[in-house]
Structure 1
């Protein structure tokens, strides 16, 4: 199959592009960084999806759209340009291709816990970040396309540049403070499981629509983080702050950041994502795509 992968210079896009190339597909990776992805059997081209210039696009059967601005404190206009307008550009550039869109569980209501939430949950009408709001708008760009939308939660694994590195960076003097002490259940998504979901979504017979994608079972966040820290040789005691208090503190820090133009040390989005339950019903992915995820695994994390 001829497949284009946007965001190939990033963590998820790079993992997807490499896996598909290794599978024998004819992959063209696109990204904003020169030499951002390499594979001996495939090609890479620089493409800013919303920029004035477009490279020569090879004909493809499908597009895996991974490019996104995954920053919960990004200016709204910039997040809109990259996430919504970038998706619009992909749809227009490949009008006859199947699109596998890497969305996010953040499109669900971040003000409340997600408890085995289904894909047909009432659409969120309020958002805690420009990232969440514009990822929801990006999905709307696919209403008339042959598209499979994948909604992972907290993707981790080899090459992760966001989730687990931030956890490491938050350790202070042998202590890690988490909203709610990390007791909330979370269904994370190993990047290998997400890649498997992409493979299934690329099948011509895969039904279009939105699908939750995650590891097989939820775990308390603190147990995952504690194992990760131990594998990385970091000694840290996990302590807690009440989630409601952390949310209020983050709101205060956000207000101060808007006044000073500086990034807040803590955001309400981060508190929401860490301190509230985030679990997902995977039945649609299992029955319609044939998705069979494994359990959460940190095997090899000492080398990530």
Structure 2
């Protein structure tokens, strides 16, 4: 049956795709959007826009009234800045949202988290039984771990029907942040391989995570509610393949292959540069951060067996097709 859904973060990259799929399948979509944010795309879909943010109790009450499903895609993302800035949105904003659900009869609350919550080390088929560390290398991942724990606490203590999805590196059409930044780095010839680019990247096409959200809404509560699911494209994509696919698709030179930088040396460099930038209170990150090192230099392979088994998740779009869609959109909308 169609649902009436409150979708947060709908003006963002992932949220816009979730909104599109929800409308296409016949659900009624209500979104919470900050004053001044561009909601033209959402309005073109027929979504109802309530102006406000997660700190506005009145706006939240108006937005959630009559909804039986909540999907939280709202997040402050990045790899630089004090953790409190990330907590304000990713943890306290979520707390406000979960408080607004209390006393309501809800079918499902889907919280979109991140595979970044796992420890910053090599991963080879890591699944959801892996304990999460208490301390993380950057404010974003620290806040995402705390947000997950908060959501599960509301499930245990308040019976909120929470499901948590952990996508990896999300790419696809409408990405106005990561792909444009990477294109600039490729043009500057400043991308170099760490460990020859042989390690895995946890790619997740944006349409695949949208599909996973639908499954999290529709799956039976038993085995789904109160659970966490890794979501990726389910195929091995090396860092080298990723960077070279982007470079080739944009007609740019491929990153230099030599000299290959070992992970241990890159980690020393990242630690040193981060320390310098923090002491100088720089508002922007150095060229290499611990978060960027994780992206570029660690093996990030995570099992999606649980999502396949319990949600019925099967990645619909694999890397080559997904990246083609991402690059085509970028060339048509950003690189004009």
For the superposition of Structure 1 and Structure 2, which TM-score range results when normalised by the shorter chain?
A: over 0.9
Number of residue pairs the alignment of both structures matches: 303
Offset at 1:303? 2.8
Offset at 1:174? 4.0
Once the two structures are overlaid, the 10-residue window that deviates more, 52-61 or 10-19, is 52-61
Offset at 1:167? 1.7
Does the CA-based 8 Å contact 1:109-1:124 persist in structure 2? yes
**Which residue among 97, 106, 113 is the counterpart of 1:103?**
113
2:311 matched to 1:289? Answer: yes
Structure 2: distance between partners of 1:166 and 1:106: 20
Give the TM-score of the pair, scaled to structure 1.
0.94
Does the CA-based 8 Å contact 2:29-2:48 persist in structure 1? yes
Structure 2 stretches of 5 or more lacking a match? 331-336
**What per-residue deviation string (whole Å, max 9, x for no partner) do you get for residues 246-275 of structure 1?**
111111111111111112322111102220
**Which residue among 225, 231, 234 is the counterpart of 2:243?**
225
Does the CA-based 8 Å contact 1:154-1:163 persist in structure 2? no
Superposition pairs for residues 38-187 of structure 1, below 5 Å?
Answer: 38-51=43-56, 54=59, 56-57=62-63, 58-95=65-102, 96=104, 97=106, 98-110=108-120, 112-143=121-152, 144=155, 145-174=160-189, 176-187=191-202
Structure 1: distance between partners of 2:239 and 2:28: 38
Once the two structures are overlaid, the 10-residue window that deviates more, 39-48 or 226-235, is 39-48
Higher helix share: 2
Structure 2: distance between partners of 1:4 and 1:38: 14
Structure 2: distance between partners of 1:279 and 1:237: 23
Superposition pairs for residues 19-34 of structure 1, below 5 Å?
Answer: 19-32=21-34, 33-34=36-37
Once the two structures are overlaid, the 10-residue window that deviates more, 151-160 or 245-254, is 245-254
Does the CA-based 8 Å contact 2:186-2:247 persist in structure 1? no
Does the CA-based 8 Å contact 1:193-1:215 persist in structure 2? yes
The DSSP-based 3-state class of the residue aligned with 2:208 is: helix
Structure 2: distance between partners of 1:273 and 1:156: 13
Give the TM-score of the pair, scaled to structure 2.
0.85
Structure 1 vs Structure 2 CA RMSD: 1.7
Does the CA-based 8 Å contact 2:79-2:285 persist in structure 1? no
